[in-house]
Chain A
Amino acid sequence: MNLSKNTIIIIISLFAIIGAFTFADSLSTVSADDNSTWVAFNTSNVGLGDLMATITVTIKNTASVPEYFKISQVYTGSITNGTINWTVNSTNPTAEYMIDNTNPGNSPTTTGDLGWQIAPGQTKTVSFVLHANGGMGEIPYYLTNENAVNNTYWPLIPDMGLSASWFDPDEIQTLNPNLQLESWCGTFTFGAVNGADYPVSGIIRGPVIPTDSNLIYSDPKAFLDTGSVAGTGVALWNVTLGPYDGAIDSSDSEFFKYTYKWPIPNKGPVFGTGSSVFAAAGNQTNNTTSTVPNQNTGIPMGLLGLAAAMVGAGVAYAKFLR
């Protein structure tokens, strides 16, 4: 076989280039998955506080018996060390204190669950205003992601700024199938405070994010992180805060306001957006996200046939026609 050195170099280069493109394409997918990698948190030099929420809910009782739409004052989302304790500032119409065997509370003014009676077949709209107590209230605090892991990525750190937590507004329909959520709208306000004596920059996410909802208002105007929570863009802000000088003022703090509305218009209950884990095999797939079949799922096999034909045609041509 007479084969020049140049020919071999060309062949090897050809495969190297094609192979590199192929694997680079695949590895880019891995990189995209790495967006969900969270580093383990230690503490934060920026804390969030003065968190308030104004929520309006329209809900229908589809049962033939009276039901109560209840609200709790303890919120735990997909976070660790991030339980938020709420105080209900006001309700409209005035909520009633609930018979409660899970969170009865010691005082009717600060704890215990509240609720509204909804008659059979009735659709009721209620609103309530909450503010956080303690952490994320008067104490600047931050959320940590439960999937956070220790890492050795130095010097490259996949730190995406302060985290968000999220919840499903329509989860009430699962918890109590007699209650059908017609609409949900929540406005959140919070402040970010720099606790360091030097200026800092980075990403701050809205601390509480409803899923399957649209961000309809934000001030300052927020960016949307669509990779963290399936079906919802997480409001985030790129901020620079001045050094803390012993007193919180406008140089070392900033206030944010954002409003989400559920459901996303014209978005029916469809498949293709989920990333939750089913209980049965959850331990197999821990810390992974689902890929979802969609319009592009599946590979046409026509090209495989063409490739086989090319090999066959090449051999046949070389043997019979050359």
Chain B
Amino acid sequence: MRIVWIGLICGLYASCVWADLSLELQSGAYYFRTSNPTAGMKKVSVTSESEEGMGFDMGFEYHTVGEPYSEPPAHSIKVLSQSTTSFLNQMVGKPLIFPNPFRWNSGARIGYRLTNDMDVTVEIYNFAGYKVFSKPLKAGTEQGALKDYNRIPVNESVLGCPLPAGVYVYFILHEGVVLGKDKMVIMP
């Protein structure tokens, strides 16, 4: 009886793994990051079922943009993007604000490096998760949406009102995908 149960559980697990792979690795182009952070994104084209396994057998690591690298469970490799635009448009490293902490009347700048000119949205939330600021930046025309190192000013003239002292979380987004985030501390 025990063997039957073990077999049943193993079968269910195997079917889940198979279902997961079959859902996530269909024909198309897939983009991954390798374990070498400077190597950038890697592209794998999957044209038939026989190539499905190739995606992870080649040693690519699962990576969520803006998060540290992590080793995935073998069956949970996820597609980073199926969009060529997203493949080309990435943030290198993590966005940081300088100075941090800072006084509101002197302001600060959020700095980050982009691999291309790209549309970017900056969002700021208070400590409790309420959105206090959002601004879209047009690719190639505004500081913050340019290839290379960007520095976005954070001050009253940009936000339109003073922010109370405390902790805020800012996000840098591209096409709704979080490229990076960090926290800033405003002194009175």
A and B pair up: no
A interface with B by C-beta (< 8 Å): none
